Structure 1
Amino acid sequence: MNFLPIACLLLALTLSLPAADRPNVLVILVDDMGFSDLGCYGSEIPTPNLDALAQGGVRFTQFYNTARCSTTRASLMTGLYPHQAGMGYLDGLKLPESKGTHAKLEDRCVTMAEVLGGAGYHTSVVGKWHLGQQNGSVPWERGFQRTATTQFGELYFPKERSKDACKWVYLDGRKVAADSPEVGSGEWYSTFMFTDWALKFLDDAKASGKPFFQYFAHGAPHFPLKAPQDVIAKYRGKYKMGWDKLREARHQKQIELGIVDAKWPLSPRPKDVPAWDSLSEEDKDRYDHLMAIYAAMLDCVDQSVGRMIAGLKERGMYGNTLILFMSDNGGNAEGGPRGISEGEPLGGPESHVFLGMTWATLNNTPFRRYKHFTHEGGISSPLIAHWPAGIPAARHGKLEHQPSHLIDIMTTACDVSGAIYPSEFKGHAILPAEGLSLMPAILGEPLHRVKPIFWMHEGNRAARTGPWKLVKKFKGPWELYNIDEDRTEQNDIITKFPAMSQHLIRQWEDWAATTYVDEWIGQVRNDWGDEIRADGAKKKKAKAN
């Protein structure tokens, strides 16, 4: 069936509708979740609400992020590559002489809230911001009419062990202590507390008579891993099967679901990850506990999604809401092979827990590497698109294999809302959006992407065009893979295709020269993402955001 006429008709109808009848847009972002961590992407963790969205919508199997927190948020919000938006790195690194690492959103970019707000949308944001608040880039001045946000994320309970900057919530720009009754009543858990605020903002949108754009940026499952103890208890003992057998099980389920091709081998267990059967019973119990906390966090995210769906239905908004669900980077291996487990009870307010490299290898099944890196494990995200009024029933439950990227979300939002992406905003020239609308892909049509997709984070680089992927770990050589044949990046073919390799390298260099990309001269990271000194020794304390 050819869906192109449907797509054209849909766009024409959207542009002709009054503002109140245009689709709502709900973007849900989770933090540090791996490619295989949802049930509908191969996981054993039950995620029934997200699985239901996938069954009623479209799942993308080759959707890409930027490998890190702030950089992904910048691309998602602006439709630009991170350096273009001013966020070439985390928002704690400001390089005055830099072209693209200014630790805040620049005036040369415009946010999705600014664009859709200008088109008559009610705009709101809840959860993690991490886009340069300390440098003057705040959500309430970048188009969001209602805000309930944290500066960095990493807030789970009203009172907990955390750095001071993580003990505050910003309600419409006002700094409010996290343990204030104004934020939430009782001993709340932030995944649910922010869901309460998200639903309040939907009520505001309904009362205004406007369609809404809401950005729901979960802190979970970012470290320090924390969750309600009763939810953690549900998963205790379930991970004593170990990462080796669970990786195989996820891989097999991914093949059965059609998420991955059976000809792509499961990437080998990294040399720094021990075989599960070699561990002591004490270590097995400890590792089981770490993964139980992580699974509990995703369980709570799925519960939040279920509450949002129920809330949309109760408010008569469900049918005409485009929901886009994704993760900001691949699974996080920081903390090394053993992870970190401090404080009692583990997962509670006073604990400090990192999942570590062992379980992150499971999170990113079947791929190589992790957050920070531009190999598939670092940059591959689930993307679920769900819109009852806009996605034909014939597309429900379908998989979409065309490569896509965060830069495409802005253009997609403009496409479905009828909003016009500006060339100028508040007296500043605005860089052209880099992405394509994903609506043709959602409807089963080609995207016709002309330019490659590019990456650069911490010196880790990549370019993707058609089946070809060029990739380089900082200080390492360029590698080339045919993703159609080898998406788990097991067979480097750069010496077999020198002309293609050189062509892609030149394209990457041209892109970097024209998009404010800085040459990376910062720290080197080891294979799990912790900083190391120039002499190869691990630093005492890794900075890990």
Structure 2
Amino acid sequence: MKRQPKVAGFRYRMCRPVDRVCLVLAFVISIVFASPIRADVTEPTKQEDRTSPVAPNVLVMMADDLGYSDLGCYGGEIDTPAIDQLAGEGVRFSHFRATPMCVTSRIALLSGMPFDDAGRNAYSHAMPLPILLQNAGYRTMMTGKWHAGTPDPREQRLFHRAFGFLGGMTDCFVGGDDWFLDSQPFRDFDADFYSTDAIAEKSIEFMDEAAQSDQPFFMYVAFNAPHHPCQAPRSLVEKYLQRYEKGYEAIRSTRHQRQIQLGLIGGDMPLAEVSEETRRWDELTEHRKQVEAGRMAAYAAAVEGVDTAVGRIMRFLDDHERTRDTLVIFLSDNGGDYNNGGIDHDEKQVAWAPGGNPSSSNGWASVKATPFRYYKHACHEGGIAAPLIIRWPRDRGKTGRIVHESANITDFYPTLVELAGAEYPRKFEGRRLRPLSGSSLMPLLAPAGKRKSLPVYQRYDVSKAWIENDWKAVSLYNGPWQLFDLKNDRSERNDLAAEHPERLGRLVKQWNEHAKEVGVPKTSLGSSTQQKGWGWHRLKMVCPHLIQLSPANGSTTSSQQITVSMQFDEPIDFTGTEGRSIRLYSVSNESEPVWEASPDASHASQGKNEIVFQNIPKLQPDQGYYFRWDPGWIHVGNRPVGVLNDGAFWWRFRTPVE
């Protein structure tokens, strides 16, 4: 074997091969004596010339927007035999958390710390993991979606081989302009191209090349699926159509019961309540039910495509006898996703054709997040709980176990530092690095393994949380901080903020201190006494000057007789808005509005900061309603509002039971 070059600032262990018995024994010993890896270690030392076990290969496979309960081994009805087999040969984590968003999770994975700590997209306080692993003697490779900040995956200092795309999503059949192969553009999108398959093929090709070298490899596989567009072959989509005609509530209940049977959650853990923004299946029109079933069928087909790709990759490892020296990690980057679309356009999206953007609604997002509350973008459990499966090697301890200890996406970096025999440096490129936030997962891979729990800081744009010793302070849209006892209430049904104000105060103080230390924008600090309903961030996207709605989005009104009002922080202008309107619909009747208005410059609200409508007919009891408006029906702050389409951009509420 060639001797690895010395790299200043790192100590690594690369040596002659040892037989598998010694390898397993050595790593069992490393588990017994493992301690959390922290960044504030001694100054980097020179490489020591000594002999110790060869470092393992590392294969990380990340699905995009895959929900906690989607996989068969996590309670789902989607066919995922390859991933289920991986879980049976390894361990599943029931309490793994990523972050609320794709980019923040990817940067947390590759920096070993939260997005804010790392210096956000620039990694100004972090060292990208592939660089550390290269310096520790690894051959590093990546395929698929980057969306992980400004480090360029096409540079060989990060990855020796790279294939994929730079942005947050791609057309699965025809790709896009940001696809690359190593340092060159990739445009080979032939008639048989399908991104999930192409990512699997290149991953196998890169690992096959790595097998010819005397280096261990780090293979990072980042699937685009099942992130929208949810595209998949027609036969696969149609396979799932009837499966989802049962609707959100039925599928969610079945998944919940299956999770209890699998032992993922306790039998006394109830489903989280679904908020008013989620339309009830029995209120939908028959046409809408068919459209919704088709949307989830497309999503399920995309998930099965990922499973097929995982199966191909795992067969390659088995066929080339690399299974026993390869650490395999499968995870998702955040909780279940709802996404764009629109009530007029969802039925026109063809999942098996290029050019469209099939997606799933927040009704299905609540299913993906079973049994938790909310979904992607929230720091509530539904937005950050994700599946995690680890296998290596097959014969370590009892396989098929479920690890109920908490784990976080920032734990992977210190785990791989430990397995690579590297040391995390104090400085990188002349910059002082911030400490790694997590600790090695190795102790948890041993049966009945334990480790010290560390606090978890979470933040993404509209949401934030601090988790410590099974207590969680969490806020959405800078609303009032809530407090949950996760040990007894992981589905976050019982807010204990009023009962434990001192405990909540301590957790909030820690979040605020950490946020200020890492330079969080002032707009994310502090909290309001009023809670905005789910979807507020989308409303602000189409109308940035909006500050208040009545009825509040995602609320239940106090009466069937309502007044509609909108408040802004800039003056209203109806000039040039003729022929455009705002309309109110019942969820059960999409064709005929209950009420509509088309105000013009003669309206009493012209030039004011609030518009009020009082002529609303009495509404039906216990019924879901939603608003739609035409783009530009009103101008605020010298700009027209965007479209309100009851897709991702909604304003929904319910009336009370009579």
TM-score, normalisation: structure 2: 0.73
The answer (yes or no) to whether the contact 2:57–2:218 under 8 Å persists in 1 is yes
CA distance in 2, matches of 1:288, 1:309: 31
Decide which of 69, 79, 82 is 2:102's aligned counterpart.
69
Decide which of 153, 169, 172 is 1:154's aligned counterpart.
169
CA distance in 1, matches of 2:54, 2:344: 49
Q: What residue number does 2:231 align with? A: 226
Q: Per-residue deviation at 1:177? A: 2.3
User: Counterpart amino acid of 2:407?
Assistant: S
| Per-residue deviation, residues 353-402 of structure 1 (Å, max 9, x unmatched) | 2201111111101111111110001111111011125x6232x1111111
Q: What residue number does 2:534 align with? A: 527
> What is the SS of the residue equivalent to 2:193?
coil
User: Counterpart amino acid of 2:29?
Assistant: C
5 Å matches for 1:168-207? 168-179=178-189, 186-207=191-212
5 Å matches for 1:247-396? 247-335=252-340, 341=346, 343=348, 345-388=350-393, 392-394=396-398, 396=399
The answer (yes or no) to whether the contact 2:153–2:159 under 8 Å persists in 1 is no
The answer (yes or no) to whether the contact 1:47–1:299 under 8 Å persists in 2 is yes
Q: Per-residue deviation at 1:347? A: 4.1
Kindly indicate whether residue 132 of structure 2 is the aligned counterpart of residue 115 of structure 1.
Answer: yes
Decide which of 429, 432, 441 is 1:429's aligned counterpart.
432
Q: Per-residue deviation at 1:169? A: 1.5
Q: Per-residue deviation at 1:324? A: 1.0
| Per-residue deviation, residues 161-196 of structure 1 (Å, max 9, x unmatched) | xxxxx43321112122252xxxxx542110000111
CA distance in 1, matches of 2:49, 2:58: 18
CA distance in 1, matches of 2:26, 2:321: 28
CA distance in 1, matches of 2:30, 2:103: 36
> What is the SS of the residue equivalent to 1:286?
helix
Q: What residue number does 2:29 align with? A: 8
Kindly indicate whether residue 112 of structure 2 is the aligned counterpart of residue 105 of structure 1.
Answer: no
User: Counterpart amino acid of 2:427?
Assistant: E
Q: What residue number does 2:146 align with? A: 129
The answer (yes or no) to whether the contact 1:267–1:366 under 8 Å persists in 2 is yes
The answer (yes or no) to whether the contact 1:129–1:139 under 8 Å persists in 2 is no
Q: What residue number does 1:23 align with? A: 56
The answer (yes or no) to whether the contact 2:32–2:443 under 8 Å persists in 1 is no
Q: What residue number does 2:220 align with? A: 215
CA distance in 1, matches of 2:209, 2:522: 45
Q: Per-residue deviation at 1:497? A: 1.2
CA distance in 2, matches of 1:131, 1:227: 25
Kindly indicate whether residue 515 of structure 2 is the aligned counterpart of residue 512 of structure 1.
Answer: yes
Q: What residue number does 1:405 align with? A: 408
> What is the SS of the residue equivalent to 2:292?
helix
Q: Per-residue deviation at 1:345? A: 2.9
Q: Per-residue deviation at 1:269? A: 3.0
| Per-residue deviation, residues 400-433 of structure 1 (Å, max 9, x unmatched) | 1111111100011112221222222333322221
> What is the SS of the residue equivalent to 1:486?
coil
User: Counterpart amino acid of 1:217?
Assistant: A
Kindly indicate whether residue 494 of structure 2 is the aligned counterpart of residue 491 of structure 1.
Answer: yes
> Compared with structure 1, are the counterparts of its residues 278 and 73 closer, same or farther at alpha carbon in structure 2 (3 Å cutoff)?
same
| Per-residue deviation, residues 52-74 of structure 1 (Å, max 9, x unmatched) | 11111111111111100111100
> Compared with structure 1, are the counterparts of its residues 531 and 69 closer, same or farther at alpha carbon in structure 2 (3 Å cutoff)?
farther
Q: What residue number does 1:91 align with? A: none
The answer (yes or no) to whether the contact 2:171–2:229 under 8 Å persists in 1 is no
CA distance in 2, matches of 1:339, 1:447: 51
Q: Which is further off, 362-371 or 274-283?
A: 274-283
The answer (yes or no) to whether the contact 1:336–1:530 under 8 Å persists in 2 is no
| Per-residue deviation, residues 328-354 of structure 1 (Å, max 9, x unmatched) | 111112338969626453342122222
Kindly indicate whether residue 643 of structure 2 is the aligned counterpart of residue 540 of structure 1.
Answer: yes
Q: Which is further off, 404-413 or 535-544?
A: 535-544
CA distance in 2, matches of 1:6, 1:207: 25
> Compared with structure 1, are the counterparts of its residues 519 and 17 closer, same or farther at alpha carbon in structure 2 (3 Å cutoff)?
farther
Q: Per-residue deviation at 1:20? A: 8.9
> Compared with structure 1, are the counterparts of its residues 471 and 352 closer, same or farther at alpha carbon in structure 2 (3 Å cutoff)?
same
CA distance in 2, matches of 1:338, 1:272: 15
Q: Per-residue deviation at 1:143? A: 1.7
| Per-residue deviation, residues 254-293 of structure 1 (Å, max 9, x unmatched) | 1111111222211223322232223332222111110110
> Compared with structure 1, are the counterparts of its residues 526 and 540 closer, same or farther at alpha carbon in structure 2 (3 Å cutoff)?
farther
> Compared with structure 1, are the counterparts of its residues 433 and 173 closer, same or farther at alpha carbon in structure 2 (3 Å cutoff)?
same
> Compared with structure 1, are the counterparts of its residues 116 and 19 closer, same or farther at alpha carbon in structure 2 (3 Å cutoff)?
farther
CA distance in 1, matches of 2:91, 2:363: 31
> What is the SS of the residue equivalent to 1:355?
coil
Kindly indicate whether residue 445 of structure 2 is the aligned counterpart of residue 442 of structure 1.
Answer: yes
Uncovered stretches (5+) of structure 1, i.e. residues with no partner: 88-102, 161-165, 180-184
| Per-residue deviation, residues 199-253 of structure 1 (Å, max 9, x unmatched) | 1110121111211101101101111211111211221211101111111000000
The answer (yes or no) to whether the contact 1:337–1:357 under 8 Å persists in 2 is no
The answer (yes or no) to whether the contact 1:123–1:212 under 8 Å persists in 2 is yes
Greater RCO, CA 8 A, separation 6+: 1
> Compared with structure 1, are the counterparts of its residues 521 and 512 closer, same or farther at alpha carbon in structure 2 (3 Å cutoff)?
closer
User: Counterpart amino acid of 2:123?
Assistant: L
CA distance in 2, matches of 1:205, 1:72: 27
CA distance in 2, matches of 1:138, 1:387: 27
Q: Per-residue deviation at 1:46? A: 1.2
The answer (yes or no) to whether the contact 1:31–1:220 under 8 Å persists in 2 is yes
CA distance in 1, matches of 2:149, 2:347: 30
User: Counterpart amino acid of 1:72?
Assistant: S
CA distance in 1, matches of 2:258, 2:474: 27
Q: What residue number does 2:614 align with? A: none
Q: What residue number does 2:12 align with? A: none
> What is the SS of the residue equivalent to 2:515?
helix
Kindly indicate whether residue 44 of structure 2 is the aligned counterpart of residue 36 of structure 1.
Answer: no
CA distance in 1, matches of 2:380, 2:172: 34
> Compared with structure 1, are the counterparts of its residues 230 and 262 closer, same or farther at alpha carbon in structure 2 (3 Å cutoff)?
same
> Compared with structure 1, are the counterparts of its residues 465 and 41 closer, same or farther at alpha carbon in structure 2 (3 Å cutoff)?
same
CA distance in 1, matches of 2:479, 2:421: 44
CA distance in 2, matches of 1:331, 1:38: 12
CA distance in 1, matches of 2:469, 2:30: 28
5 Å matches for 1:229-244? 229-244=234-249
> Compared with structure 1, are the counterparts of its residues 259 and 424 closer, same or farther at alpha carbon in structure 2 (3 Å cutoff)?
same
> What is the SS of the residue equivalent to 1:352?
coil
Kindly indicate whether residue 77 of structure 2 is the aligned counterpart of residue 53 of structure 1.
Answer: no
CA distance in 1, matches of 2:495, 2:110: 34
Kindly indicate whether residue 459 of structure 2 is the aligned counterpart of residue 464 of structure 1.
Answer: no
Uncovered stretches (5+) of structure 2, i.e. residues with no partner: 1-23, 35-47, 526-530, 550-640, 649-658
> What is the SS of the residue equivalent to 1:437?
coil
CA-based RMSD: 2.8
User: Counterpart amino acid of 1:527?
Assistant: W
User: Counterpart amino acid of 2:167?
Assistant: F
Q: What residue number does 1:163 align with? A: none
CA distance in 1, matches of 2:247, 2:234: 22
> What is the SS of the residue equivalent to 2:472?
strand
CA distance in 2, matches of 1:178, 1:188: 8
> What is the SS of the residue equivalent to 2:94?
strand
| Per-residue deviation, residues 307-326 of structure 1 (Å, max 9, x unmatched) | 01001112221111111111
